Amino acid sequence: MQQKGMVMTTLLPRSMRTVVTKMGRWLGTACLVGMEVTLAMPATSLAADAPRRPNIVVILADDLGFADMGSFGGEIKTPNLDSLAKDGVRFTNFYTHATCSPTRSMLLTGVDTHLNGLGNMDEWTAPNQVGVPGYEGYINKRVATLPQLLQGAGYHTYMVGKWHLGKQPDQIPRARGFSRDFTLLDGAGSYWDMTNLTAATPKSVFTEDGRYLTKLPDDYYATKTYTDKLIGFIDDNKADGKPFFAYVAHQAPHDPYHLPKDWRNRHVGEYDKGWDALRQERLKRQIEMGITPAGTQLSERMWFLPDPIVLAPAARAVTGKKMELYAGLVENMDHHIGRLIDHLKKIGEYENTIFVVFGDNGPEGTDLFKMLTGTPGTRDYLFAATAWSQTHPNAWGDPGSYAAYGPMWAQVSATPFSQYKAWLGEGGIRNALIVSGPAVKRPAGSINRGLMHVADLMPTFLELAGTTYPKTLAGQELPPLIGKSWTQVLAGQAESPRTDQDYLAWEIFGNRALRQGDWKIRWQYKSLGKSDWELFNVATDPAERKDLAAQRPDKVKELLALWDGYVKANNVILPSRSMFETLEDQLPPRVPDEAGYPPVSYKRQFVPPKDMMADPKP
Amino acid sequence: MKPLIRARWAAAAVLALAALCPPQVLAQVPARFYWKTLSGASAVPVIFNSLSGNTNPFDPSNLVTPDANFDATMAMAGWAQTYTLGDRSAMAAIILPMGRVSGGVAGFTETSRGFGDPMLEFNYNLIGPKAQKTIPDVLRYEPGFSLDLLVDLMLPIGEYDNKQSVNLGQNRWYGRIGTPVVWQLGSWVPGRRTTLELLPAVWLFGDNNDFVGQKLKTDPMFQLDAHLTRDFAERIWGALDLTYYKGGGSTINGVAAGKLNNVGVGLTLGYTVNENLNLTFGYKSTVNDSAPTDMRMDGFMVTLVFGWHPIIEGMRRLKSE
């Protein structure tokens, strides 16, 4: 073991050796894990770097919706992201997981969540999952990580932004393969400072190059600082000519909507029209752009949301302002992504950089703040009263404010799909994906409908880096990758990395789904689900309006057989407790959303014919 | 629904905070007087003053009587209405002063009581946000840099006795033209608002042809009111006040009676009791006023303004059901 470590230290770049030397005992163990992975690499990957292997930049937006970017039908101004779409290719059948850390775990490992440690989110591990391998709440040691493997293949590996995959010294980015990082370890928090969300964890934890930060840099603002740091990392090492892998895990646009003042008032009053009108506008653009097939219907408006037409102007203004802030937050993120793009152009690296852009899950429709702050009399409520009580709309965006746009606007972000983050409706798991760069040989600005998955990134990047996935890690067999490489799709040699027989499957919080070809089965807690299996044809009904389970029991049975195989292969343990277990009791009874009902809310003032009007007789 | 409640609260709070209180007899209004509110709002201001000095507080020309002492206890009540004129904010108000004032030189004291000269005021916004015609407009209101045109006119019908120099009414037409400025400094968030407010104005006076049988003429007078205001919390704020007077030279039958070049400083504390009711408490005093011809005055002022709007009141009724 010691000998292996010595050999590896020699093979590591000087900067990494220095870092390894400086790192404390707690990091040493973690690094050795990475070293052993590298030892298991094929010899070819350790050869001198090919000078023109591509840089890889993954831009992960937190809770960004399918329809938010301009290139996917959004009215939000995202010129820089759209420029990547214009140069590259957009994918409309790309899937992540329904929540944050599970998606990230698959991105970074290529392995199913129930094996890589994120079988459940750390915050919601059920009693029957505690202590079970695969449900650790962080990326466990039985899997290799993408940065570890790329580092071993001669890449610089950089991370900025949100991690949410473990805080212990052997779980942080530096320990899992990133040579440089500036990281928020938590899943959410202030964009301005180290304030976190609950009394139990009042302070966000950050690391920089493997060291836990005692304070944040001056002039800190998450999106800006992350970008500054990454540009610094790139510049620090650009002289050695090695390619880099950059994982840009923006906190934006996750709530709370914290954004600089300059970005708050760019859409004043624009969203007073309400969510229904905006969804219709976005769908129209999506159809015109070819993102969504003609004839696509919008998903039902959630039955517990009002038709904006019936709302008073003030209610529209206040709810609309939340969407204004969200739009500003996305635009601010786009601005900083533009800074990164411009910098890469300036240093001559843009043309050799593959960009991959997507959101980590559907848009957030759950009132996270309410969930976290609890009720009066609790310690979390008291904490919120001191740290998160800037509730005036003019304070939204400032430190201490917590604005989030709620399910009504989340449905807009998910246009045309149903549901949102944490749920397995298409709105929770299907995301906009942009890929651009030298690997893309498809026509610039084209759209592809191949069935893609976030776990595909691992095999794709390994192939682009000229290396392969090792069979073992520290003498232990690694679980198989569930993803498929995109290289042929990007090269225009295939339309999808998957055959009609391949399937994708998801489970989180007890909700579960499986898609094979055009068909999808879904089991979800009431009332967003039926607590029973539903069947949808997501090709003809992407909004999942029509449950076909009763009509096609044969298809349900066929897909359930696949589901059973998935459960067995991945040790899926349905949670004994779920954040949704009492949801049905909290929501009003579910009723269909039918346009124009009840008529009493939509009738107009009757105006008699003028020639029949008269003053009263004396 | 929750956003609606928030909107209602915000609108109502702004209504009261907008401080539709009237100008006062000292020709100084409290800070935050020229903040704008929802068009169609009404307000009843009541202002109490206890003043002492060497000039009659009911006389805005501040005619100084050397070695004299005046004491006044006054109240002013009125009615104000906001509305929209050509897409801009406007306000009209009528204020009626009342109370008693007594004073004079040693051994010779006069007293007057009753009602003073009613004042008509018209204020029109020239620069700044458009009129707040809807509650969303109220929610989005931030003054930024706001400049108004102000016109006041006093009607000479107040209590007047031509046999004495101390009166509530002034027995002449007079008024002022000014340009109130509200300059927002920083965020517009209740609890954190800061403003610099200026009111440069010129007072113009007609002649009093029967001032104890003599003719009182007063030159135009320049007055600058300045306030630096800051929220202490969402419902409480304070202000540093400064007033500067210059000019206003008077003659009585052609004999000069002095003119002003004085500065007054003060403090104001404001408190929003609820969404309708706003209170201020202030004290102001002239400084560098030791010369016999300097204006010398100090006083306490308490203002109470009750404002309402039909929409706000209707929502309150529904809420209380």
pLDDT of residue B11: 39
ipTM score here? 0.80
pLDDT of residue B261: 84
Contact B51, B298 (CB under 8 A): yes
Contact A300, A418 (CB under 8 A): yes
pLDDT of residue B64: 72
State how far the Cα of A52 lies from the Cα of A439, in Å rounded to an integer. 12
Question: Nearest CA to B41 among B270, B315, B276?
Answer: B276
Are B189 and A306 an interchain contact pair (Cβ–Cβ within 8 Å)?
Answer: no
Give the closest-approach CA distance of B135 to chain A in angstroms: 6
Q: Which fold has domain A40-582?
A: Alkaline Phosphatase, subunit A (3.40.720)
Average pLDDT value for residue range A32-51: 41
Give tens-digit pLDDT for A390-399: 999 999 999 9
pLDDT exceeding 90 applies to what percent of chain A? 88
Residue B53 — very low, low, confident or very high, per pLDDT cuts 50/70/90?
A: confident
Mean pLDDT of chain B: 86
A31 is catalytic: no
Closest Cα in chain B to A396:
B189
Residue A15 — very low, low, confident or very high, per pLDDT cuts 50/70/90?
A: very low
Residue A530 — very low, low, confident or very high, per pLDDT cuts 50/70/90?
A: very high
pLDDT of residue A222: 98
Give tens-digit pLDDT for A64-121: 999 999 999 999 999 999 999 999 999 999 999 999 999 999 999 999 999 999 999 9
Residues β-bridged to residue B230: B194, B238
Judge whether B192 is closer than 8 Å to chain A, CB to CB: yes
Q: What is the dihedral of CA A255, A261, A264, A269, to 10 degrees?
A: 140
A19 has a pLDDT exceeding 50: no
Give the closest-approach CA distance of A98 to chain B in angstroms: 28
Average pLDDT value for residue range A320-344: 98
Q: Which two tokens stand for residue A432?
A: 């906009």
Instruction: Tell me the pTM.
Output: 0.88
Mean pLDDT of chain A: 92
Give tens-digit pLDDT for A223-268: 999 999 999 999 999 999 999 999 999 999 999 999 999 999 999 9
pLDDT of residue A150: 98
Domain B2-319 of CATH type 2.40.160.40: yes
Are A272 and B136 an interchain contact pair (Cβ–Cβ within 8 Å)?
Answer: yes
Residue A51 — very low, low, confident or very high, per pLDDT cuts 50/70/90?
A: low
Chain B residues touching A314 at Cβ < 8 A: 3-4, 7-8, 11, 134-136, 139
Give tens-digit pLDDT for A429-453: 999 999 999 999 999 999 999 999 9
Neighbours of A135 (CB within 10 A): 24
More reliable by pLDDT, A544 or B255 = A544
In this complex, the residue of B3, B134, B140 whose CB is nearest that of residue A319 is B3
Closest Cα in chain B to A314:
B136
Helix (H, G, I), strand (E, B) or coil at B41: coil
Give the closest-approach CA distance of A388 to chain B in angstroms: 14
Residue B271 φ/ψ, nearest 5 degrees? -140, 130
Average pLDDT value for residue range B183-190: 95
A100 is catalytic: yes
Give the closest-approach CA distance of A588 to chain B in angstroms: 14
Distances (CA, A) of A341 to A69, A335, A428, A483, B100: 17, 10, 29, 28, 75
Edge-to-edge strands, sheet with B250-252 = B208-211, B214-218, B250-252, B255-256
In this complex, the residue of B8, B134, B139 whose CB is nearest that of residue A393 is B139
Are B7 and A392 an interchain contact pair (Cβ–Cβ within 8 Å)?
Answer: no
Contact A272, B136 (CB under 8 A): yes
pLDDT of residue A193: 98
∠A110-A114-A120 over CA atoms, to 5°? 115
In this complex, the residue of A306, A318, A390 whose CB is nearest that of residue B7 is A318
Are A315 and B1 an interchain contact pair (Cβ–Cβ within 8 Å)?
Answer: yes
Are A317 and B140 an interchain contact pair (Cβ–Cβ within 8 Å)?
Answer: yes
Chain A residues touching B135 at Cβ < 8 A: 312-314, 317
Quote the strand ranges of chain B, DSSP E. Answer: 42-53, 69-85, 88-104, 110-115, 119-127, 145-154, 174-178, 181-184, 194-205, 208-211, 214-218, 221-233, 236-247, 250-252, 255-256, 260-272, 277-287, 297-308
DSSP single-letter state for residue A590: P
Q: Which two tokens stand for residue A169?
A: 């010294």
B15 has a pLDDT exceeding 90: no
Are B136 and A306 an interchain contact pair (Cβ–Cβ within 8 Å)?
Answer: no
Enumerate the domain spans of chain A: 40-582
Question: Nearest CA to A367 among A231, A255, A263?
Answer: A255
Contact A78, A330 (CB under 8 A): yes
